[in-house]
Structure 1
Amino acid sequence: MTNALGKNEIIVYHRASNGKLKLRQRIATGGGGSGIQLDPGDSLGSQGSLLLDSRSGRLFAVNTETRSNNPLDGQDVGDCQQGTISSFQVNRYGQLNLVDRIPSGGLFPNSLTVDRNLLYVLNAGGPGLNPFCGVGPNITGFKVSQSGNIRRFFNATMPIDPGTSPGNFLDCDPGNAPFSTEEFRCGLNPPAFPRSPAQIGFTPDKQKLVVTVKGTNTIYVFPLSRNGRPTSPSLTQVGNPFQPTPFGFAFAKTYDSSKSYLLVTEPFGATSTIPAPSASAVSSFEIGNDGALTTITQSLPNGQTTSCWIAIAPSGKYAYVSNNGGSTISSYQIGSDGSLTLLASVAAQANKPNDLAIVYEDGKSFLYVLNSGDGTVGAYQIGNDGSLTSLGSVGGLPSDDGAQGLAAY
């Protein structure tokens, strides 16, 4: 996804049997993206902004509908623009057809999750400078037809508390940028990406929704009623009110166990500095029936900077993390009990990587990464030992200009 301000687009690539990519199609979402915002390498501050349901052949994309890409320009008009969701049908050749675009139920939508006909979006923005703009950060549910048409799911919205930044976050990186108090107040629209809600996802059993919230360092687990509506969440604070910060997550169903485990990236490390150089980590948890989290591995460091996105190999043995600030990819090994071991601090080189996707076909697994720094998609073959072999990259995305969102099958 280009995530371009004013005209968001999806770029489609064809994947050959050897994993290499070839540009196939460009298609507009009908809405506008966020543009650069505070960081051209991570302008949405989220994982899961582009979502593929390969079983039904549907693709979903968020449009933040941002009117200005400069949060310091004082234009209140941008604060009130509600986001939208676009849906596409994917034909047998991988080409897209735009089906629908509807309001997201909030401001600055940045993450999506789907199960059959039930779609949920995370709206990360809040009223911002104008208290009359509308609702604050929330999750909102929708019903989706087989053809991809979307309608609002009545009474399926729950609020998210974005928190307020502690004093030591008001000037987070004085050496690199003149960040202001206004920028790092949580709940703005656009929100402050280092502290905003980051991802929403169904648990593997489809009985719960998980949401990571950076501003309070909290993981929400919403049990779902029988009809799929969220109920009061269980809240688990990771570490302490300051750090580490939960960002992206994925579920690993281990290769010799019927259980599944929640793996969460922690991009800023145990420090008051955002971002903390060479201080990222990954934790793993087991989710109880009541939604409570039990820590298995706590904050296992990888020595890299801003580890935000994560993907699990089809074998369930390996996890890959993109390190946006360090332009690298790290790898972890997943034990049968959900425990983690650092496999390689630098498993591969990249260029300001953000979103990741993994596919499996004919006995081969491939990892793809959106390189926001140069507007390419990098391809890697995953070895049986978890190692990565580069297959090169292909262009077509904006270079260092806010591209984010990746899905593959």
Structure 2
Amino acid sequence: MFKKLTMATGVVTLVAACGGGNDSAPAVSQLFAQTNDSTNAVVHFIRNADGTLTKQPAVLTGGKGTNGVNYFMGNIVAPDALTSNHSVIVGTDGSQLFVANAGDNTVSTFSIDKTSGTLTLLAVSPTGGTRPTSLAFANNVLYVTHQQGVNELGAYRVGSDGKLTSIGTYPVVQQDALPTEVSVSPDGKFVIVNGFLKTLTPVQPANALLAYPINADGTLGQVVSSTSVGVGPFGGVFGRGAQAGVYATSDAAGGTASSYSFANSGSFTPLSGPVAVTGQAAPCWIAITPDNKFVYVSSGSGAISLFSLDGNGKLSLANASAASEPPVLSTTSGFANDSWVSPDGKFLYQDYAGDDKIVAYSIGVNGTLTKLGEQPANTQSKISLQGLTGT
């Protein structure tokens, strides 16, 4: 992604690129990512009470990754090969893990033993699409976006055996639009998709936020499209509780962050932004603390930026570089991509794909980040680390 970063700043990573808690806390707290190697594997950690990580043996997904080959970057080996958020997610009750295998167009389903932390591979299912890269789950239905195709959004019923059965496919803004994220609204009524291109060459963002109403059987209804205020919304995150109707985005192409109110009709109305992520290129990934006070935006330039979120849903930049890691390769930055905030709001975990590692931070009362430690991902290409979620 480094090549086009110089050519198109944030647009590059825009298409170069967060998990949740459960109602009942597991006995063992964990963290998961994927190697995206040719023989794909889950990078697995136990989360200790002090926020540090204890590495567990990697677990094969049974599927194939891209080994760092980045479709958006012209099939070169580059960070953020999946160009997405949420390629690894935990199911609603914390008992399942889903992993997108973009190299062979499959999704792996694991069971999670909440007491021991053991992962058991249940199934590897074809999606019928091309390069699945972002996942969302609600009411036993998995929603998957793909990098190419006429219908790049799919809905799949998850069986008791972990296998996926397609129940519908849907178009996004246009064919081959390369969506970067799918999520489900907090009320469970809409599937949200963002991060589109009108054209890949030259790179031209579509600037659209899409909301699909979820029918009772998990299939999707007629899409509601809203125009974004930021250029190239890549990642998005909803607030919690009283602010569940607030949606914040990282706008990769514009180098900004924005926030919106989300209506029962499925439309988005701007609340703030676009707010410049000063000095950072390609802000693509975004996470929020459970108390809605702080929003973290991670960028292809290798930094985590801290935003405050007020009671009206407005974003303010507090620190453009709240944390960063020096690059270990001359060809790319540390490349801060997928991140995840623990359900108790005490810790933030960050992938640094350019450095092939995951860093743990404690979150201070004013949102500051203090590094607790780091763990290597040990990917084959040394830059293919993707996805981050936990329990």
TM-score (norm 1): 0.78
Distance in structure 1 (CA, Å) of the matches to 2:161 and 2:364: 36
The residue that corresponds to 1:262 in the other structure is 247
The residue that corresponds to 2:208 in the other structure is 218
Matched, 1:55 2:93: yes
User: Any runs of at least 4 consecutive aligned residues in structure 1 with deviations exceeding 3 A, and if so which?
Assistant: 1-5
Residues 318 and 238 of structure 1, relative CA distance in 2, 3 Å threshold: same
Among 139, 142, 150, the residue aligned to 1:116: 139
Residues 258 and 370 of structure 1, relative CA distance in 2, 3 Å threshold: closer
What code does the residue aligned with 2:304 have? I
Matched, 1:94 2:113: no
Distance in structure 1 (CA, Å) of the matches to 2:143 and 2:336: 25
Give the deviation of 1:55 after TM superposition.
Answer: 1.3
Among 168, 181, 184, the residue aligned to 1:202: 184
Structure 1: state its 5+ residue gaps.
67-82, 127-135, 164-186, 188-194, 270-279
The 8 Å contact of residues 377 and 385 in structure 2, kept in 1 or not, is answered as no
Aligned residue for 1:30, secondary structure, equals coil
Q: What RMSD in Å do the two structures reach over aligned CA positions?
A: 1.8
Aligned length: 334
The 8 Å contact of residues 245 and 263 in structure 2, kept in 1 or not, is answered as no
Aligned residue for 1:373, secondary structure, equals helix
Among 125, 149, 158, the residue aligned to 1:144: 158
What code does the residue aligned with 1:213 have? G
The 8 Å contact of residues 12 and 95 in structure 1, kept in 2 or not, is answered as no
The 8 Å contact of residues 138 and 160 in structure 1, kept in 2 or not, is answered as yes
Aligned residue for 1:196, secondary structure, equals coil
The residue that corresponds to 1:321 in the other structure is 297
What code does the residue aligned with 2:305 have? S
Matched, 1:161 2:173: yes
Distance in structure 2 (CA, Å) of the matches to 1:388 and 1:198: 26
Give the deviation of 1:25 after TM superposition.
Answer: 1.8
Structure 2: state its 5+ residue gaps.
1-32, 198-205, 326-333
The 8 Å contact of residues 35 and 377 in structure 2, kept in 1 or not, is answered as no
Higher mean alpha-carbon deviation, 223-232 vs 24-33, is at: 223-232
The residue that corresponds to 1:395 in the other structure is 376
Distance in structure 2 (CA, Å) of the matches to 1:246 and 1:93: 38
Aligned counterparts, 1:163-242, within 5 A? 187=176, 196-215=178-197, 216-239=206-229
The residue that corresponds to 2:354 in the other structure is 373
Aligned residue for 2:233, secondary structure, equals coil
Residues 35 and 217 of structure 1, relative CA distance in 2, 3 Å threshold: farther
The 8 Å contact of residues 360 and 372 in structure 2, kept in 1 or not, is answered as yes
The residue that corresponds to 2:10 in the other structure is none
What code does the residue aligned with 1:315 have? D
Distance in structure 1 (CA, Å) of the matches to 2:111 and 2:237: 25
The residue that corresponds to 2:20 in the other structure is none
The residue that corresponds to 1:191 in the other structure is none
Aligned residue for 2:182, secondary structure, equals strand
Distance in structure 2 (CA, Å) of the matches to 1:397 and 1:261: 37
The residue that corresponds to 1:357 in the other structure is 340
Q: Which has the higher contact order (CA 8 A, sep 6+)?
A: 2
The 8 Å contact of residues 258 and 272 in structure 2, kept in 1 or not, is answered as yes
Give the deviation of 1:345 after TM superposition.
Answer: 0.7
What code does the residue aligned with 1:21 have? L
Aligned residue for 2:56, secondary structure, equals strand
Aligned counterparts, 1:304-315, within 5 A? 304-315=280-291
Give the deviation of 1:313 after TM superposition.
Answer: 0.7
TM-score (norm 2): 0.81
Give the deviation of 1:308 after TM superposition.
Answer: 0.5
Give the deviation of 1:53 after TM superposition.
Answer: 1.9
Among 238, 242, 246, the residue aligned to 1:251: 238
Give the deviation of 1:56 after TM superposition.
Answer: 4.1
Kindly name which structure, 1 or 2, has the bigger radius of gyration based on alpha carbons.
1
Distance in structure 1 (CA, Å) of the matches to 2:127 and 2:249: 25
The residue that corresponds to 1:11 in the other structure is 43
What code does the residue aligned with 2:235 have? G
